[in-house]
Structure 1
Amino acid sequence: MSGLGATAPADGGPIRTAVVGLGWAARSIWLPRLERHPAFAAAAAVDPDPAVRATAAREHPGPALLASVDQVRPEEIDLAVVAVPNHLHCAVACALLERGVPVFLEKPVCLDSAEAARLAEAERSGGAVLLAGSAARCRADVRALAELAAKIGTVRHVDVSWVRSRGIPSAGGWFTDRAKSGGGALVDLGWHLLDVLTDLLGPVAVDQVVGSVTDDFLHDGAWRAVWRKEAPTAAGGDVEDTARAFLVTGNGVSASLRASWASHEPRDVTAIRIEGSAGTAELRCTFGFSPNRDGGPVLTLTRDGEPEAVAVPDEEIGAEYHRQLDELAALLADPAARGRAVADATRTIGVIERVYASAARTRR
């Protein structure tokens, strides 16, 4: 085993991958892409529920079916993609890392700073690498925006928002139970936005944080995410459907953030606007898989009052996850990857905790 844990079969074949947790994300995002990607082989599918395993076997007959992560062995598996409910992320990832199995952990990587510390220790003690990160930064339009940012001088301010029209996931299920989800739209959508913000600004410290949260739509089942094709459940929960925050970094760059599962907007829109000393770059698109979107992404560069449309590569919805697998294959072979995901997650969850703390001080 190398310093990162097992990284690939000895014969140089594809990366043998186990998908842990067989919910919507595993069956709709990860298993289909692992089966198509030449660098990976979907070797195992893990879930404690026999009925869920049976459904996965019908949809994806290739992987071996396992009932527990205890059956995932480092000599047989090169990478485990952990896609269990949020409150199980840390425990499952730590169990694998401590046995020497490299892990890619779906967002949110952790639910609080204490979990981030546990993950860091598991990575150190087990000798296997933890990988993480939002697929959003792998989108072609987000990468084009990052390249455009080099043309607008010193960055002064960034606006990031992901506002859904109707998109509360699993209303009444674990997504809206704070003990299991860690939070609402801020943890779910906001983690993607903060990850993109880190990609644009670098891993800078955030000195100041203020925020607010609301739940105007949470208790009405009409605002649930019907495109996820989940069985209707009773509306409600104890998390926010909208979070707003204002941040100031240690080097003086400000950022505003809005994450909304539901709103009065007609379409789901993600908007990222970077204001620089020599111009502004703005991207309007839709993250995620919701069909409630307006056409393709629009990228604009504005200097001296003159807007200029910038071409963006056309790609199918979800292409960023295939590109993320490209990056995972490279990271598994990179010794410098050790500790990077934990450091990013520690910064991200620290900001999220401070937004919630600020909101708690002012919410009535």
Structure 2
Amino acid sequence: MSGGDARADTAARDGRIRTAVVGMGWAGRSIWLPRLAQHPAFALTAAVDPDAVVRASVRRDHPDLTVLPTVDALGAEPVDLAVVAVPNHLHAPVACELLARGTPVFLEKPVCLDAAEADQLAEAERSGGTVLLAGSAARYRADVRRLAELVPKLGTVRHVDLSWVRSRGVPSAGGWFTDQRTAGGGALVDLGWHLLDVLTGLLGPLGVAQAVGAVSDDFLHDGAWRAVWRKDAPVAAGGDVEDTARAFLVTDHGTSVSLRASWASHEPRDVTTIRVEGSAGSAELRCTFGFSPNREGGPVLTLLRDGEPERIEVPREAIGAEYHQQLDQLVSALTDPAAPGRAITEARSTIDVIDRVYASAARSRA
């Protein structure tokens, strides 16, 4: 019996969730492999990547792990969950293949790049009789959860400001991340998906009646603005997506939303700001999402009512702790009878907003 088979067999006996990670890029190797290996509810049994050099590197780092070249090869492995972290344009095709044969899938964002892919995922989930799970880890941050607890105290929500602005943080400039064909978009698809997911977590599913937006690429073509902390392979800077997107939305209920997602800027640090304004008060969270070391000193959450600011205590947590919290939620979601269809419903809403912002930006440029 191989090391991977032995691990899977042991996991089956002790009730852990036998998990494969598909895609050994930065997210697969830096986020998911270490956290799945550490989490007591999961048994990391397999990894999949088409690149032979990458597979050899993974085998060196994880000698007990079964490392495979294709999702087809994964079919022979006993897997209770597949975490899919491949390039964006492969998210839906790979997830559909797994779902259709009955394998539960956790799909990294973006869940889909258009409505047609959402339809394909929905059909694969139904035909396989299984579940697609998704969602941004950002909504599981301790500071975001604390902000969510304050929202009911704010009365009727009138406006939400959402921004994630990096100082220098263009990912894989010149690689698939900045190619429209493989990424589906730039900072709006990458950072903006997290912000829109947090908005859903704060206010629930929202229909958007109006959406306007603008995009720019002032930093994309200069390698000095790349995300050096990602340790991506050096490639020539450039691409055909935006490094900054700005949007203004109005929901079906009349709540306005301003959104900014920037891979790079002239700011000294990477800052995420979420401000919720209501009829009875406002609350603002200032922090830094993600893994960049160039971050705020710590999250600051402020409640403001009748001109009186109140600093709200927020638990301190390690960078990336939200991914561990997300894994905690996946354990129960896998057996939740209401889970099938939920991820796709939320993804449809998010991709609709993103499509409309891009369409508005294109009209403005024309």
Q: TM-score, normalised by structure 1?
A: 0.96
Counterpart contact for 1:74–1:100, Cα < 8 Å: no
Could you tell me which of 204, 207, 211 is aligned with 1:205?
A: 207
Determine the structure 2 residue equivalent to 1:284. Answer: 286
Determine the structure 2 residue equivalent to 1:320. Answer: 322
Determine the structure 2 residue equivalent to 1:305. Answer: 307
Paired with 1:255 and 1:34, the residues of 2 have a C-alpha distance of 35
Paired with 1:338 and 1:74, the residues of 2 have a C-alpha distance of 25
Deviation at 1:50, TM superposition (A): 1.4
For the pair 1:76 / 2:78, whether they are aligned, the reply is: yes
Secondary structure, counterpart of 1:337 in structure 2: coil
Counterpart contact for 1:74–1:99, Cα < 8 Å: no
Amino acid at match of 1:197: L
% same residue: 75
Deviation at 1:12, TM superposition (A): 5.3
Could you tell me which of 141, 144, 147 is aligned with 1:142?
A: 144
Deviation at 1:9, TM superposition (A): 6.9
For the pair 1:33 / 2:47, whether they are aligned, the reply is: no
Query: Which consecutive residues of structure 2, in runs of 5 or more, have no partner in the other structure?
Result: 1-9
Deviation at 1:271, TM superposition (A): 0.2
Secondary structure, counterpart of 1:245 in structure 2: strand
Paired with 1:165 and 1:138, the residues of 2 have a C-alpha distance of 24
Q: Which digits, 9 at most, give the CA deviation of each residue in 1:288-340, with x for residues without a partner?
A: 00000121100000001111100000100000000000001110011110000
Paired with 1:33 and 1:78, the residues of 2 have a C-alpha distance of 17
Secondary structure, counterpart of 2:338 in structure 1: helix
Counterpart contact for 2:11–2:43, Cα < 8 Å: no
Paired with 1:68 and 1:260, the residues of 2 have a C-alpha distance of 34
Q: Which digits, 9 at most, give the CA deviation of each residue in 1:105-125, with x for residues without a partner?
A: 000111111111111111111
Could you tell me which of 221, 227, 252 is aligned with 1:250?
A: 252
Paired with 2:208 and 2:11, the residues of 1 have a C-alpha distance of 41
The two structures, once aligned, show a CA RMSD in angstroms of 1.3
Secondary structure, counterpart of 2:83 in structure 1: strand
Q: Which digits, 9 at most, give the CA deviation of each residue in 1:45-71, with x for residues without a partner?
A: 001111101111122223211111012
Deviation at 1:360, TM superposition (A): 0.2
Paired with 1:134 and 1:49, the residues of 2 have a C-alpha distance of 27
Counterpart contact for 2:12–2:18, Cα < 8 Å: no
Determine the structure 2 residue equivalent to 1:45. Answer: 47
Amino acid at match of 1:233: V
Paired with 1:71 and 1:16, the residues of 2 have a C-alpha distance of 16
Q: Please list, as runs of the form range in 1=range in 2, the aligned pairs for 1:1-364 lying within 5 A after superposition.
A: 11=13, 13-73=15-75, 76-363=78-365
Secondary structure, counterpart of 1:143 in structure 2: helix
- How many residues of Structure 1 are paired with residues of Structure 2 in the alignment? 357
Amino acid at match of 1:167: G
Counterpart contact for 1:73–1:101, Cα < 8 Å: no
Q: TM-score, normalised by structure 2?
A: 0.96
Q: Which digits, 9 at most, give the CA deviation of each residue in 1:115-155, with x for residues without a partner?
A: 11111111111111000000000000000000011211111
